[in-house]
Amino acid sequence: MSIRERLSGNEAIATAMRQINPDVFAMFPITPSTEIPQYYAQYVADGRVDTEFITVESEHSSLSACLGAEAAGVRAVTATSSAGLSFMNEVLYVAASSRLPVVLAVACRALTGPININHDYSDSMAERDSGFIQIYAENNQEVYDNYLQAHRIAEHPDVRLPLMICEDGFITSHAIENIELEEDEAVKKFVGEYHPENYLLKKENPLAVGPYGVSNYYMEARVAQAQAMKNAKKVILEVAADFEKTFGRSYSFFEAYKMEDAEIAMVIMGSSAGTAKAAVDQLRAEGVKAGLIKIRVFRPFPGEELAAVLKGVKAVAVMDKSEGFSACGGPLFAETAGACINMPDRPLMVDIVFGLGGRDFTVDAALSVYDRLKNIAATGEAGELYTHMGQRER
Amino acid sequence: MDKMIEIRWHGRGGQGAKTASQLLADAAFMAGKFVQSFPEYGPERSGAPITAYNRISDERCCVHSNIYEPDYVAVVDETLLESVDVCAGLKENGAVIINSAKDPEEYRELLRGYKGRVCTIDAREISLRNLGAYFPNTPMLAAVVAVSACVDREQFLQDMEGSYRHKFAKKPQVVEGNLKCLREAMDEVKG
């Protein structure tokens, strides 16, 4: 039976980690993810877990320690944010290409500059090509549920890829809300134990990890890695189906909110999706056919499935909470537009960059986006393709 | 309670406005409500003005923006009134609750034309009297519960007693003082 609780996103992640009791947790603190290792250190001190808790000197080292542990054949986790994730950059690629299923919790926070501690997806989006699976959440419940599914997806023999569990810095990481937790034993049973087929220290069949790949071999390794990311799609759905059967809460690549007959829609991620749902509800009450798609899995990107839901929608606003400096739209827009490229009835589409560095996104702001979409749908003119919202004009 | 109650807390970094908002969320959670408690961080330094928020409702709230039109505003540090427009957006059928020994009407002018209910609570006096030290959060929490009626008084006191007995299991002598703080603050809030 689930347990009624109230926890912040960070405590929800730490709780999931405690229930899973990974073999290694290598930590280096950075706001707003610091509470995760802080809570975990208490569990270690109280003897509630028997994890090897390693305090290291940087994020480059924390992920490297996890990589070493995973190579040796055990479960390893860490947590970070912002510049900490950037500092891991080199090692992220090594973990992914070495096919080591580290689970990394990211409390997403803006990157410098100016220096800022608040939320956007600059940090995680900058690592979208690292080979990590990326799963995002609207609130503490989803962060917890995603974390319970993380190891099974990452460690699946057809996948073997590291995975980021992303939550919105402060907005989710530090907000206390109601949550349904599951019993420790039920979680342990659902997640299972980790017994990799091969690993560095396996006596009978020792494995080389991280060798040099000459041109004759490099491309094959990369194609195999790309295939693993494709395989992850199937595994993500299988694990979600078992999760629903076990705990009753349903997950997929994205949540399609009131999309059945939607004429205008937003594609959005994270906590802002919740705020925008309130706008959708308000518009639906007025008879406006508004809908919303909340992307949960950004890597692998569910392009086909997303295109199928967007088919026939008249106007779509893709909401990017990171500025990719491409001068033609953010990363979520590029993926969404790309997914629809060969579709005959594709919607008119615009990109809106919003919420950078913690700039608040309100129900009124979401309503103004739908107003713009109503106009695009009515006139058949998309207008400016790529704009920002919420910034002060001089 | 048939609608959501939204509360904004104003304090200074280090004074515990965030903690007070968490305590209120705890109290409402124990009473069976859906809660949100979240801080808004500016520069992280002691003494800088900070804001924290609560949403309390009978259903899960999916909105995750800050609160711009609160039902209630709680001011942990009265010296903020000169520099911060604490009543910005505050509903006129709501109330502002200020931690102060003064009478509510003495604040009218500082509140920049707010026409709704103004309340004060002498958290310092109540805390010193019952706990021998200045912990403004406990009386402030009780004052906000009393004024907003977001949780039933008797249920609130009963839940808090359970919570204190658990929290202070190793020093039960402080439980009674904290409970007296709550009760007296609920009775002594002015306005």
Residue A349 in domain? yes
Residue A146 in domain? yes
Residue A87 in domain? yes
Chain B residues touching residue A258 (CB < 8 angstroms): none
Higher pLDDT, A137 or B19: A137
pLDDT band at A139 (very low <50, low <70, confident <90, very high): very high
Are A278 and B41 an interchain contact pair (Cβ–Cβ within 8 Å)? Answer: no
Partner residues linked to A153 by β-bridges = none
Cβ count within 10 A of residue A50? 9
Taking the CA of residue B102 and the nearest CA in chain A, the distance in Å comes to 33
Please give the domain boundaries of chain B with CATH numbers for all domains: 5-188 (3.40.920.10)
Are A361 and B65 an interchain contact pair (Cβ–Cβ within 8 Å)? Answer: yes
pLDDT higher than threshold 70 for residue A300: yes
| A98 shares its domain with A238 | yes
Mean pLDDT of A261-290: 98
Taking the CA of residue B59 and the nearest CA in chain A, the distance in Å comes to 10
Residue A38 sits in a domain whose CATH number is: 3.40.50.970
**Residue that finishes a domain, picked among A227, A247, A267:** A247
- Predicted TM-score (pTM) of this structure: 0.96
Taking the CA of residue A272 and the nearest CA in chain B, the distance in Å comes to 7
Which of B38, B44, B65 comes nearest A174 by C-beta? Answer: B38
Length of chain B as a residue count: 191
Taking the CA of residue B69 and the nearest CA in chain A, the distance in Å comes to 12
| A236 shares its domain with A293 | no
User: A with B: how many residue pairs have Cβ under 8 Å apart?
Assistant: 59
**Residue that finishes a domain, picked among A217, A247, A277:** A247
Residue of A nearest to B40 (CA): A170
| A274 shares its domain with A237 | no
Which of A31, A177, A363 comes nearest B65 by C-beta? Answer: A363
| A233 shares its domain with A267 | no
| A135 shares its domain with A47 | yes
Give the whole-number percent of chain A exceeding pLDDT 90: 98
Residue of A nearest to B44 (CA): A117
Q: What domain range is A154 assigned to? A: 3-247
**Residue that finishes a domain, picked among A198, A213, A247:** A247
Assess contact for B177 and B131: CB atoms under 8 A.
yes
Residue A119 in domain? yes
Instruction: Give me the number of domains chain A comprises.
Output: 2
pLDDT in tens, A183-198: 999 999 999 999 999 9
Chain B residues touching residue A176 (CB < 8 angstroms): 22, 25, 35-38
| A108 shares its domain with A136 | yes
Kindly list the strands in the beta sheet with A264-269, ordered across the sheet, starting from the edge strand earlier in the chain. Answer: A254-257, A290-295, A264-269, A315-320, A348-353, A386-388
pLDDT higher than threshold 90 for residue B43: no
Q: What is the mean pLDDT of chain A?
A: 97
Residue A172 in domain? yes
pLDDT higher than threshold 80 for residue A31: yes
Instruction: Give the pLDDT of residue B3.
Output: 86
Mean pLDDT of B105-118: 92
pLDDT higher than threshold 80 for residue B42: no
Residue A161 in domain? yes
| A109 shares its domain with A182 | yes
Which of B22, B29, B64 comes nearest A171 by C-beta? Answer: B64
| A78 shares its domain with A139 | yes
| A224 shares its domain with A304 | no
| A78 shares its domain with A190 | yes
Residue A312 sits in a domain whose CATH number is: 3.40.50.920
Higher pLDDT, B19 or A330: A330
Instruction: Give the pLDDT of residue B2.
Output: 58
Are B68 and A362 an interchain contact pair (Cβ–Cβ within 8 Å)? Answer: yes
Assess contact for A293 and A265: CB atoms under 8 A.
yes
pLDDT higher than threshold 90 for residue A129: yes
pLDDT higher than threshold 90 for residue B155: yes
Of B99, B162, B104, B98, the residue nearest B126 (C-alpha): B99
| A10 shares its domain with A139 | yes
pLDDT in tens, A312-329: 999 999 999 999 999 999
pLDDT in tens, A55-102: 999 999 999 999 999 999 999 999 999 999 999 999 999 999 999 999
Does residue B62 belong to the interface with chain A, where contact is any CB pair within 8 Å?
yes
Assess contact for A143 and A137: CB atoms under 8 A.
yes
| A140 shares its domain with A176 | yes
Phi first, then psi: give them for residue B150, nearest 5 degrees.
Answer: -70, -20
Does residue B13 belong to the interface with chain A, where contact is any CB pair within 8 Å?
no
Are B25 and A171 an interchain contact pair (Cβ–Cβ within 8 Å)? Answer: no
Instruction: Give the pLDDT of residue B48.
Output: 85
Residue A394 in domain? no
Alpha-helical runs (H) found in chain A: 9-20, 35-45, 59-71, 82-87, 89-97, 122-125, 140-155, 184-191, 215-247, 271-285, 303-310, 331-339, 363-379
Q: What's the sign of the alpha-carbon dihedral A338, A344, A345, A348? A: positive
Please state the ipTM of this predicted complex: 0.94
Of A41, A120, A83, the residue nearest A323 (C-alpha): A120
The CA distance from B47 to B73, in Å, is 19
Residue A175 in domain? yes
pLDDT in tens, A208-265: 999 999 999 999 999 999 999 999 999 999 999 999 999 999 999 999 999 999 999 9
Does residue B19 belong to the interface with chain A, where contact is any CB pair within 8 Å?
no
Instruction: Give the pLDDT of residue B44.
Output: 62
Instruction: Give the pLDDT of residue A247.
Output: 98
Are A275 and B44 an interchain contact pair (Cβ–Cβ within 8 Å)? Answer: no
Q: Max Cα separation, chain A?
A: 69
pLDDT in tens, A338-364: 999 999 989 999 999 999 999 999 999
The CA distance from B55 to B31, in Å, is 14
